[in-house]
Amino acid sequence: MRYWVIAHAVDDFYQGLVPASIPFFVLERDYSYVAASGLAMAAALGSSLPQPFLGLLADRWRLLWLAPVGVAVAGLGAGAAGLAPTYPVVWVLLLLSGVGVAAFHPAAGRDARRDAGNSASAMSLFAAGGSVGFFLAPALATPALVSYGVGATAFFIPPAVLMGFVLWRHQLRQLAVGHTANSNGGRDRWMPFLVLTAIAVVRAIISFGLSTFLALYWINSLGGSRTLGGAALTAFMAGGVAGTLLGGRIADRVGTLRTLQIGSAAALPALAALRLVPSPQVVSRWLR
């Protein structure tokens, strides 16, 4: 199971690398905010639209190569984007990275359940791995991007290729011992599914918007440094990790629906308060 936890962290690292690198595309290449949102859209489209179809394929066929190839493609696309000379090439590479993310998740979720058996705790670790990877992206990438520029995204290609190779070897070992994914019979409930999907769409719009523009807001509107902008994005991602872990404990006590309500109610005032945050210069004068 540890392979899937680590692989999920590596894969979602590249989802986090996109918003971590976008401010540097804007600052170094003079991309507009519209162009910046286009880069975020490329990664989001690549990771979301193909995923249901790839999930259908993973349900019908084993495709043990899908998750290893997905994590490798995710890293290659996001890592090479910083070296691309023109905006269209950057856009296509981020779209390709998103497709890699989409290829990883359905197959990885299925095969992680295979390795976890009936352990809910093991699957919670798998889920937490993705949150940790998303959080680590700005924490690790910002120092490199500040020091070496947006081309430093290429430094993060090797982990994806290595993880893809290790995961493929793991899949071959599981095939050799005859492990198969558990089938899950059940009845589809489309109305609750559609409601939950609508909630997820709204959440994704807010989350992607914040992760794309939070660092730029900190730098251009509040007058903070690039390092401070990256720190703000890291703090936002860290909140996501904490929320994932805390939400699981709360859900065990009060139920999943009430947990969703609590999380949504807490997020709205925090989002409004973000607009009232004073600039770093004002805070420094207060502390003198």
d(CA 29, CA 86): 10
- Here the tokens at position 199 are 């909630």
Residue whose entry in the numeric block shows the structure tokens 């409004």: 272
CB atoms within 10 A of CB 283: 12
Domain that holds residue 141: 2-180+189-287
- The CATH number of residue 52's host domain is 1.20.1250
Counting DSSP H helices and E strands in the chain, the numbers are 11, 0
Say whether 95 sits in a helix, a strand or coil: helix
d(CA 178, CA 165): 20
Q: What is the pLDDT along the chain (288 residues), one digit of tens a residue?
A: 788 899 999 999 999 999 999 999 999 999 999 999 999 999 989 988 888 888 888 878 888 899 999 999 999 999 999 999 999 999 999 999 999 999 998 888 888 887 777 665 677 778 778 888 988 999 999 999 999 999 999 999 999 999 999 999 988 887 777 655 555 556 777 888 888 888 888 887 888 788 888 888 888 888 888 888 888 888 888 887 787 777 777 877 887 778 878 887 888 888 777 777 666 554 444 444
Query: Half-sphere exposure of 52 toward its Cβ, with a 13 Å CA cutoff?
Result: 3
Residue whose entry in the numeric block shows the structure tokens 């993973």: 58
8 A C-beta contact, residue 72 and residue 7: no
Phi and psi angles of residue 271, each rounded to the nearest 5 degrees, phi first: -65, -40
Q: How many domains does the chain have?
A: 1
Sequence-ordered strand ranges (E) for the chain = none
In which region does residue 73 sit, left (phi positive, over 0), alpha (psi from -120 to 50) or beta (all else)?
Answer: alpha
- Here the tokens at position 86 are 């023109």
Give the alpha-carbon dihedral of 45, 51, 53, 58, to 10 degrees: 160
